[in-house]
Amino acid sequence: MNNYLLRPLAACIFAGCAAAAHAQFIDDVDLRQEGANAVMTIKFVSPVLYSKSISARASDLVQSFYTVLPTRDQIKDVISERRFPAVGAIPSITVTDEADNATATQMSANRKLVIRFGAPLQFRVRVGHDSRSIEVVLEGLGASVKAGSGVGRPVTVSPVAGAVPAATAVQASAEIESSAAALLRAAQSAFDAGNYSAATDSLNKLLDLPPNGSSRRAHELAGLARLNAGDKARAGKEFDLFLKLYPVGPDSDRVRELMPSLPSAQAAAPSPKKVVEATSSTNGSVSMVYYGGKTNTRTQEFQDSVVGGLPILQSDTTVPYTDQRQWQTNVDLNWRYRDAEKDMRFVFRDNYSLDQIKTVGTQKLSALYFDYRSMLNGTSMRVGRQSPNGGGVMSRFDGIQVGYAFQPKWKVNAVVGQPTDVLRETSRKFYGMSVDAEALTKELSGSAFVIEQVIDDVTDRRGVGADLRYLSGGVTAAAQFDYDTIMKAVNVAAIQTTWQISEATVVNASLDRRASPAVQLQNGLVYSFAPLGSVVSSAQRIQDLLGVTTIETLRQVVKDTTPYVNQAQIAGSTAIAKNWQFGGNLSIVNMDTIPAVAAVGFAEQPSTTGRAVGVQLIGNNLYSARDAHVFNLSVSNDTTTGLPTMRSNLLSYNNVSSLGERWQVEPSVKYLVVTNPTGYRVDSKTLGSRVTYRMGQQLSFEAELTYALSNTHTPAADSTVSSDVSSNNTTYNLGLRYEF
């Protein structure tokens, strides 16, 4: 593949050249209540740019696409998965993160989340509160978040000895659960609109069904509908029945507060002592994947020769070689305990890679932390190895974060730590503070921070910044700003928005400018800056550089040569028929010149600007309850300083199909043509397929196979002759995943 095709990835790859990490992209998944809705927040270890979502018509599956933004940590493409059990009216949820298609023959910044719900429900996907999260809004299911005390990835929940259990959520058949959930959504919608008669009709139909996961909320809503309609007598009877069925829980406490004003209050059972169920859970996964692949290259001169039809042999004109032969083992362990006073978590994630070609094994501990949150006094603490979650922290670190909620919607935080990546012989640390405001206004929330980084007893960076979030109706916007007061340089200025125009139409837009890596003094030890001559390659600490230049000069050199990546994109989709959607996207990416990195033999890369436009035709449920088809056509131009403009035309098809409860298949095909005005041309055809087979609830087998065939024509230049080279590339991986 020609070097030009790697340019869009160069910033992502070499921004993290000092800290390669084989880890999962998902850092955490959690649920929270937001008014009448439940919100699932998917947090990432790296900044991301949300693009679009494709939903199945069955309303039980959605694919959400995103792009990994430049970051210091280079993350290996590792499939990861998180599972939620059913809680109240919220069905079971599985979140899988993977490459955006099976035909990606090399590292790609484009990825997707495949989110599966155990039963159909109403949902929408939007940008998260910062650049490291994406959110899924589960409409009308907010009450179930508080009803489930162990929410937050517990797959197996065990009551703790001595605790008084709350009413257990009943799981009926899939058909009943689906019907009940639909009736509850209709009732909630009518209730919110003030149509209490219609809400009561839907609730009566729901409560006539066998007990199910929606029953509890339906009983409470039935009483509220009667009360708001002015029928206090019937409201009291509904609430009496509710308390008999569900004596313990936040919703039960809410109902008791209403009882004294109702006619049946005297008949109500005495309030039992408020008890919150204590739960403990241990869950996680262990996976082992083998990656293999081989490329064969033949020049046109060899193919046209008299021996061209013979089997490929080792020779000067035929280059067969093994691309990869590697084992990847990942361990993900999560423990959680929660009761009325505290919420505690322990997280461990580790990766071991064995390269059988180089016979080199590497181990990478990506997470090892303990998290504590008090339910009584508003304090919280996380200590250990962890990913950044705001506050100006930019990379994985070892350290401690503490917080204190001094008002219901205000929280102050402090962080101290040191980056986990090794930078020659330097000593680095940082400390910072931030303030979170959950509701500056009804629609606006945000946070502000200040952070100081130190390298070898010298200030590395001093950052101030803020994250803001706007939420109103169908519009969600998240903005980030990070400014270095010493370098007098902007590190991040970004905004992402989602506009849900209607149930069938959604638009996403973003503007993003960020230094890659951040403007910081340590960059002087990474890039081969001409003003410092050969000193950079031998320097091990900042003091080695300060021996030949002043700190003011070094800071100016870093500021002048640290590259920026600027991105703008707009994407949207709308339904055009029962099973079809139409989507489109427009993007512009500009990368500054990337300086040479002598330590890894990376040559200077000139500035590049890429422009792309694409259209998608999306089909859902064409032959089953869960199949999604994406036909994509995109055209792009990459203009690199001093080089001819490269034009790329891509036609691709991707499919995701569930065959029963055990099989999922994802075939894909891609045809790519790259040309420039000099006559250079690459024709590449790629076939791929990923298969997942679930052997029960805990064990699954995964396999992926990709075959690529390409022909490259290089025209004559100066005194050289033109050349034609053909190559075929086969890559595959086989893996087992055990979830507990």
pLDDT at position 319: 40
User: Token digits for 663?
Assistant: 């099989």
pLDDT score, position 624: 79
Concatenated DSSP letters for 350-410? Answer: EEEEEETTTTEEEEEEEEEEEEEEESSS-EEEEEEEE---STT--S-EEEEEEEEEEETTE
Q: b or e along 275-285 (b: 16 or more beta carbons within 10 Å of the residue's beta carbon)?
A: ebbbbbbbbbb
Q: Residue 149 is encoded by which pair of tokens?
A: 């005390």
* Closest to 625 (Cα-Cα) out of 171, 39, 3, 178: 178
Q: Is residue 101 part of a domain?
A: yes
Whether residue 490 is found in the same domain as residue 392: yes
Q: Are residues 671 and 540 in the same domain?
A: yes
Strand residue runs (E) in 641-719: 646-659, 663-675, 681-695, 699-714
pLDDT for position 533 = 55
Dihedral of CA atoms 142, 146, 150, 154 in degrees, nearest 10, equals -10
CATH number of the domain residue 230 falls in: 1.25.40.10
Residue with tokens 């998260």: 128
Q: Are residues 263 and 382 in the same domain?
A: no
Q: Residue 74 corresponds to which tokens in the numbers above?
A: 């280079």
Output the CA–CA distances (angstroms, integers) from residue 682 to 341, 670, 677, 712, in the order listed.
63, 13, 13, 5
> Same domain, yes or no, for 132 and 244?
no
Average pLDDT of each block of 10 consecutive residues along the chain (740 residues)? 38 39 71 85 86 74 82 60 77 83 55 85 85 88 64 34 36 69 86 85 85 85 87 85 81 81 55 61 87 67 38 36 79 88 92 86 90 92 92 93 91 96 92 92 92 96 95 88 96 92 87 91 76 67 88 90 91 88 92 72 82 91 83 92 90 88 89 92 93 86 92 77 84 88
Burial of 117-138, coded b for 16+ CB within 10 Å and e otherwise, reads bbbbbbbbbbbbbbbbbbbbbb
Contact 46, 71 (CB under 8 A): yes
Given 210, 237, 267, the domain boundary residue is 267
Residue 65 shares a structural domain with residue 190: no
283 and 263 together in one domain:
no
Residues 380 and 459 in one domain: yes
Looking at the fold, whether 395 and 258 belong to one and the same domain comes out as no
| Gap between the Cα atoms of 317 and 724, Å rounded | 12
Domain that holds residue 308: 3-138+279-739
- Cis amide leading into 517 (omega within 30): yes
Residues 352, 498 share a domain: yes
Measured in degrees and rounded to the nearest 5, phi and psi for residue 233 equal: -65, -50
Q: Among residues 234, 267, 300, which one ends one of the domains?
A: 267
Return the pLDDT at 57. Answer: 61
Count how many domains the chain has.
Answer: 2
Say if residue 322 is in the same domain as residue 230: no
- Does 145 fall in a domain? no
Shared domain for 540 and 491, answered yes or no, is: yes
* DSSP element (H, E) containing 11: helix 7-15
Name the nearest CA neighbour of 252 among 290, 223, 288: 223
Give the closest residue to 79 by CA, choosing from 25, 7, 21. 25
Residue 157 lies in a domain: no
The pLDDT tens digits for 406-446 are 888 899 999 999 999 888 899 999 999 999 998 888 889 99
Instruction: Give the angle subtended at the CA of 349 by the CAs of 689 and 10, to the nearest 5°.
Output: 60
**H runs (alpha helix) in 261-309:** 300-303
